[in-house]
């Protein structure tokens, strides 16, 4: 077997060579860039003010004819607002939101789904007993308390079969604040109204 060596062949440049090379400067730069990108965005989001305060007594439209009156001193939780779908307000660590959507399924499923989401998202470790509620506007549904490691929350679920709508209101925050603001939460749920069908 004859072996020909072509050390200066231009094609030598394109042959892969299994040689040692440093990757740590580029690796460090990549790691730094990723951490910086995520860190800056998350810190900025954390520090950015959530939203504007709500005027006392102001009725806020959620969508599909649903509206409610946020409690005084709460601010609009802009990231939770989805035009024609959902609205939210917050006070310190306590958040309250209402979502409305078309619903053609069983009356039970929206509550089951909300509870499964709370469990799997680790917002809840266990639930309190379910009970029924009725608002002064005539909406009636089911409500349940949820308890997490350091959170207390509640769901209010209404299925309006006539209008084919499901309404899910939820509140969660630290147990202390939840109890302190419970009257405000009840007032907001009580203010929920759906416009009469045309």
Partner 1 sequence: MNTLELGRPGEIGIDGFFQPRRAAFWLLVLFLANGAYSVATLFLTNYAVVPQGLLTALVVWTIYALPFLFFLWHLDLFEQQSRSTFLLAFAWGGLGAVYLAIPANNAIFSLAAKLGSPEFRDSWGAAIAGPTTEEFLKTTGIILLVLVARTQFLTTLSVVVTGAMVGLGFQIVENVVYSTNAAIAAVNDDQVTPVLSTLLVRGFLCGLWSHSVYSAIAGFGVAQFMFRRHETLAMRVGWFLMFFALAWGLHATWNSPLLSPIQSVGALGPLLYIVAKGLPVLLIGIWIWRMALVQQSDYLAQVARHFVPEPSLIAPEERDTLSGLGTRRAARRALAKAHGRPAARALHALQRAQLRLLVACARHGRGLFTAGAEASVRRARRRLEARTGAVP
Q: How far apart (Å, rounded) are the C-alpha atoms in residues 179 and 127?
A: 16
Cβ 80 to partner 1 shortest distance, Å: 8
Task: Give the torsion sign (CA, 162, 163, 164, 166).
Answer: negative
How many residues in the shown chain lie near partner 1 by CB under 8 A?
A: 55
Does residue 15 belong to the site contacting partner 1 (CB under 8 A)? yes
Q: For residues 74 and 103, which CB has a smaller minimum distance to partner 1 in the complex?
A: 103
Cβ 183 to partner 1 shortest distance, Å: 28
Q: How many angstroms separate the Cα of 65 from the Cα of each of 43, 51, 83, 165?
A: 36, 23, 12, 10
Lookup: tokens for 191: 């203010």
Q: How far apart (Å, rounded) are the C-alpha atoms in residues 63 and 195?
A: 10
Cβ 12 to partner 1 shortest distance, Å: 5
Q: Which of residues 140-179 bind partner 1 (CB under 8 A)?
A: none
Q: For residues 81 and 187, which CB has a smaller minimum distance to partner 1 in the complex?
A: 81
Q: How far apart (Å, rounded) are the C-alpha atoms in residues 161 and 158?
A: 9
Among 63, 81, 127, 147, binds partner 1 (CB under 8 A): 81
Provide the pairing of β-strand 152-160 with 75-76: unpaired
Rounded to a whole number of angstroms, the distance between the first and last alpha carbons of the chain is 94
Does residue 9 belong to the site contacting partner 1 (CB under 8 A)? yes
Say which residue the tokens 């006392």 belong to. Answer: 56
Q: For residues 119 and 187, which CB has a smaller minimum distance to partner 1 in the complex?
A: 119
Provide the pairing of β-strand 193-194 with 126-127: unpaired
Site string for partner 1, 25-64 (x = CB under 8 A): -xxx-xx-xx--xx--xx-xx--xxxx-------------
Q: For residues 133 and 147, which CB has a smaller minimum distance to partner 1 in the complex?
A: 147
Q: Could you list the residues that contact partner 1 (CB under 8 A)?
A: 1-7, 9, 11-12, 14-21, 23-24, 26-28, 30-31, 33-34, 37-38, 41-42, 44-45, 48-51, 78-79, 81-83, 101-106, 109, 113, 116-117, 119-121
């Amino acid at each position: 077997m004859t072996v020909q060596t072509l050390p200066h062949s231009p094609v030598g440049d394109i042959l892969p060579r299994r040689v040692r090379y440093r990757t740590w400067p580029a690796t460090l730069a990549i790691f730094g860039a990723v951490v910086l990108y995520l860190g800056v965005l998350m810190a900025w989001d954390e520090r950015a003010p959530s939203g504007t305060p709500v005027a006392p007594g102001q009725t806020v439209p959620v969508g599909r004819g649903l509206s409610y009156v946020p409690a005084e001193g709460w601010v609009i939780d802009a990231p939770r607002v989805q035009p024609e779908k959902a609205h939210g307000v917050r006070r310190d660590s306590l958040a309250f939101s209402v979502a409305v959507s078309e619903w053609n399924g069983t009356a039970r499923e929206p509550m089951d789904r909300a509870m499964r989401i709370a469990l799997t998202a680790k917002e809840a470790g266990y639930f309190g007993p379910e009970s029924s509620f009725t608002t002064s506007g005539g909406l009636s549904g089911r409500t349940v308390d949820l308890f997490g490691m350091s959170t207390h929350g509640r769901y209010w679920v209404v299925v309006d079969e006539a209008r084919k709508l499901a309404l899910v209101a939820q509140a969660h925050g630290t147990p202390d604040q939840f109890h302190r603001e419970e009257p405000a939460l009840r007032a907001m749920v009580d203010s929920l109204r759906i416009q009469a069908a045309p």
